[in-house]
Amino acid sequence: MPVTKDEQMSDQEQAEPTLPKRLVFRFPRTSLLAVLAVMVFAIPFASGWPPLWLIYIFPLAAGYAVIRLRTIVDAEGLHVRGIAGSKHIPWSALRSLRLGERSWVRAVLADETEFTLPTVRLRHVPALSLMSGGLIADPTEKPRE
């Protein structure tokens, strides 16, 4: 009887999950449908008086935020894309994560500065822990006896 590929793998190889090269945290692209709906519903207001065309600034800004905001996590560190710019935070410069009351996650650097990680929530911290190679503690992990 031939040996299958699964039988050839050792128990250690089967137990170790393979990590992706990078994780990207961003808003779902379907959020743009909500932006489009707001623009459509703004048509009656904006067509009533020409200065009210400025009302379109709000859905356009929301659409820009949906497309632009993201946090990319890889073996080198965190790549944060905000509204106005980007920042690279290497793992060596990261001191800890601050978990907010509203499920926001902030990166605390060695010099005590903080950066909000856009679109990263509390439920994503275990994935950040895996990608950091253990530099970030996983709060959901059970302590070993």
> In this structure, what CATH number is given to the domain that contains residue 74?
2.30.29
| DSSP output for 79-93 | EEE-SS-EEEEEGGG
Residues 100 and 90 occupy one common structural domain = yes
Q: Which structural domain range is residue 53 located in?
A: 24-68
Final residue belonging to a domain, choices 68, 98, 125: 68
Q: Are residues 100 and 131 in the same domain?
A: yes
What pLDDT score does 16 carry?
62
Tell me, what's the pLDDT at 9? 52
> Are 42 and 89 found together in one domain?
no
Amino acid identity of 98?
Answer: R
Beta strands per DSSP E along 3-113: 22-26, 70-74, 77-81, 86-90, 94-99, 104-109
CA dist list (Å): 89 to 13, 92, 104: 31, 8, 18
C-alpha separations of 27 from 5, 45, 111, 115 in Å? 39, 28, 29, 18
The pLDDT tens digits along the chain (145 residues) read 455 555 555 555 555 667 788 999 999 999 999 999 999 999 998 888 889 999 999 999 999 999 999 999 998 999 999 999 999 999 999 998 998 888 889 999 999 999 899 999 999 998 998 888 888 888 777 776 6
Q: 22 and 77 in contact (C-beta within 8 Å)?
A: no
In a domain, 15, yes or no: no
User: pLDDT at position 1, please?
Assistant: 47
Asked whether residue 121 is domain-assigned, the answer is: yes
So what's the pLDDT on residue 10? 52
Task: Compute the distance between CA of residue 25 and CA of residue 105 in angstroms, rounded to an integer.
Answer: 12
- The closest alpha carbon to 97, from 122, 80, 64, belongs to 122
Residues 134 and 83 both lie in one domain: yes
Domain count for the chain? 2
User: Residues 65, 116: contact at Cβ < 8 Å?
Assistant: no
Residues 59 and 86 placed together within one structural domain of the fold: no
Quickly count: other Cβ atoms within 10 Å of residue 120's Cβ: 25
Quote the pLDDT of residue 7.
53
Query: From the DSSP assignment, how many helices (H) and strands (E) are in the chain?
Result: 6, 7
- Say if CB 42 and CB 53 are below 8 A apart: no
Mark which of 52, 68, 84 sits at the end of a domain: 68
